Structure 1
Amino acid sequence: MEKKFYCVFVYTFLITISFLMLSCVAKQPMSLATDQTVLLSLKQHITSDPSRILAMNWTNSSSICSWIGVTCSLRHHRVAALNLSNMALSGTIPPQLGHLSFLIYLNLKSNLFHGDLPQELSLLRRLKFISLRLNNFTGDFPPMFGQLPKLEYLNLRNNSFIGSIPKSLSNLTNLQFLDLTSNSLSGEIPKEFGRLQSLQTLAVQFNRLSGAIPSAIFNISTLVVIALRSNELSGSLPTDMCRNLPFLAGIYLSDNQLSGAIPTNLSQCSRLEVLSLPYNSFSGEIPSEIGYLTSLEKLYLGGNNLNGTLPHEIGNLHSLVEFAAEHNEIGGSIDFSIFMNMSSLQNLYLWRNKFTGNLSRDVGNITTLTILELSENHFTGTTK
């Protein structure tokens, strides 16, 4: 789900950037010469260029608008995009990079850049897109990102940033995509994030965040993905969490310390495709309202304290591919007929619960199943 949105966003953004492309004339204007100085400074800070891409291409013998990874704007004759992704480059980011004052797009993903990010990047007031994912950047999370008023896309996934998420990010009212996954961030999710009323993807997985999920997050009506798994988040989910989330397609909250009941108004998230809540401390029964999520493809509820019985309404989930509710306290007999109309169901995990009674031979009629795990229950046999 996250990958699908990422691809659509990047494709749309690059279409926009393509209109800025220009092959500059050999005689460069003074402003472009300034950009050249900045890029040569960046080149000097790169300590490893294994494919010698910049070493062979970024030279004074050619216009910087023809350099690999550089795109110049047609209107201003300045560097508008810098894309050095997937080049295995190693080095640091010089403060001079902040002087690329017409830069709109910055993509350094999948390299080996390291060290702190310079405060001077806050001078890039035209920036709309930043991807620094899959590098080795360190230091406190840079608050200067909150000073980039036009930013729409910020991806810092898989780095080593520490500290708390700055409240200043809530200034980015145009932000649509935020991914801070796999860093070492701590503290709480700022309640001020409720101001991000253009946000579509919020991904802050595999960090050390604590505290409750701010209720204001669930009032961002544009949200498509909420991905906060593998943190130390606690508290309960709002009972009306889906009231203002008409476009929500993915909820990823596994491996936290969330508790309380699963909200009954989940049916209002009518476009939900993935509901992932395993390995928390949710209690109570599986709400029957889940059965009205007709777009649901994956439902993960394992490793909680759920009890009661399986709601018959689950049989309405004709798009469901995988259902996991293992390691709970769900009991009673299983009416396997509720699964027989699930034309997409492939994997069913109900092991380590308190199911009782006879194990009906109807389970053999669920022809789409490839994995069925029912071990560690209290079945007494098979009906005739």
Structure 2
Amino acid sequence: MEKCHNYFLIGLFLPSLLSTSLSISTTNITTDQSALLAVRAQFSIESRHILTKNWSIGFSVCDWIGVTCGSRHHRVTALNISNMDLGGLVPPQLGNLSFLVSLDMSINNFRGELPHELARLRRLRVLNLGVNNLNGDLPPWLGSFHQLQYLTLMNNSFTGLIPPSISNMSKLISLRLRYNSLRDISNEVFNISSLEIIILDRNSFAGSLPDYMCQHLQKLKLLSLSGNNLNGQIPSSFGQCSQLQKLSLSYNKFTGVVPKEIGKLTELEVLYLGQNSLEGKIFILSQDFGCPCSFKHSY
């Protein structure tokens, strides 16, 4: 009798479980499509734009232009709509693409501030919003992208500070913020040991560089800070950036003697120090000749 009772209970709950499972599966398949349709509705595009026809329920969402789906979960993992003559505000519905790993909306005409809904994209590894008309402060929630490796926001009109929360991006490899109106460099930037590329030129950064700035940047290969209002002396700790290949500090207000430690950077290929108030000369150890060579530069 007890076994019959158990089978009866299973018979009661099984249809409910199957219904719930199917509901979840259906939601998973259609969630991204609904989100992208809402995104398309927010774009400022002409009626003849290719996305108005291609992004429709007549096609599988995984076949839409610029959309890539993962084979495992069959969810949208990448969205590349760069250089497609799109405009308007950045759609907040993008935050519903919870499996998104890469988002590229560069070279368009998007404007306004970044919607906070983007903070829900916790799987992001690539975020490229460069060459648009975006403005406002860089939001603190950028630090919620713990998996992010490549952040590109260059050629926009962002203002204010680089938020200290950026230090939470412990896997960040490339940071490209050039051609904005940012004011201060958060020292937390120089604590991200995974960084290989830092491009912050053509902003309004002021103040001096911290003496310890290369202590945690052992992987740094490219550093560009040209065209700002940085002052003070160039830190001697640059000698600790042993992998540095390109260093650009021109068009600032640096003073004093060029630190001799720069001459010990054996991987250095490009050095820009022009349009500062520096003095002295640099001795670079030539790998070809194995001897100290005098390198003169017009500062």
**Shorter-chain TM-score tier:** 0.7 to 0.9
Runs of 5+ consecutive residues of structure 2 not aligned to the other structure: 1-24
Task: Tell me which residue corresponds to 1:372.
Answer: none
Q: Tell me by how many angstroms 1:88 deviates.
A: 1.2
Q: Tell me by how many angstroms 1:42 deviates.
A: 0.9
Q: Tell me by how many angstroms 1:50 deviates.
A: 7.8
TM-score (norm 1): 0.68
1:132 paired to 2:129: yes
1:143 paired to 2:161: no
CA distance in 2, matches of 1:240, 1:199: 16
1:99 paired to 2:79: no
SS across alignment from 2:243 = coil
Task: Tell me which residue corresponds to 2:205.
Answer: 209
Task: Tell me which residue corresponds to 1:226.
Answer: 223
- The CA deviation string for residues 239-264 of structure 1, in whole angstroms up to 9 with x for no partner, is 2421x222100001110011111011
CA distance in 2, matches of 1:215, 1:64: 51
Distance 1:267 1:114, change over 3 A: same
Conserved in 2, the CA contact under 8 Å of 1:109 and 1:134? yes
CA distance in 1, matches of 2:29, 2:67: 12
Task: Tell me which residue corresponds to 1:252.
Answer: 248
Q: Tell me by how many angstroms 1:213 deviates.
A: 1.4
CA distance in 1, matches of 2:201, 2:237: 23
In structure 1, give the amino acid aligned to 2:166: L
- The CA deviation string for residues 192-218 of structure 1, in whole angstroms up to 9 with x for no partner, is 223200000011110000011123331
Conserved in 1, the CA contact under 8 Å of 2:202 and 2:228? yes
Conserved in 2, the CA contact under 8 Å of 1:51 and 1:87? no
Task: Tell me which residue corresponds to 1:314.
Answer: 294
Task: Tell me which residue corresponds to 2:66.
Answer: 69
Conserved in 1, the CA contact under 8 Å of 2:210 and 2:235? no
Work out which of the residue numbers 275, 279, 283 in structure 1 matches 2:275. Answer: 279
Distance 1:50 1:210, change over 3 A: farther
SS across alignment from 2:118 = helix
Task: Tell me which residue corresponds to 1:268.
Answer: 264
Q: What does residue range 192-203 of structure 1 map to in structure 2 within 5 Å?
A: 192-203=188-199
Work out which of the residue numbers 129, 149, 154 in structure 2 matches 1:152. Answer: 149
TM-score (norm 2): 0.86
Task: Tell me which residue corresponds to 1:116.
Answer: 113
Q: Tell me by how many angstroms 1:142 deviates.
A: 2.0
Q: Tell me by how many angstroms 1:191 deviates.
A: 1.5
Task: Tell me which residue corresponds to 1:191.
Answer: 187
Identical amino acids, percent of aligned pairs: 39
SS across alignment from 1:98 = helix
Task: Tell me which residue corresponds to 1:21.
Answer: none
Conserved in 1, the CA contact under 8 Å of 2:286 and 2:293? no
SS across alignment from 1:68 = coil
Conserved in 2, the CA contact under 8 Å of 1:173 and 1:195? no
Conserved in 2, the CA contact under 8 Å of 1:129 and 1:151? yes
Work out which of the residue numbers 75, 84, 97 in structure 2 matches 1:87. Answer: 84
Q: CA RMSD in A?
A: 1.8
The answer to which structure, 1 or 2, has the higher relative contact order (CA under 8 A, 6+ apart) is: 2
CA distance in 2, matches of 1:275, 1:201: 15
SS across alignment from 2:242 = coil
In structure 1, give the amino acid aligned to 2:156: N
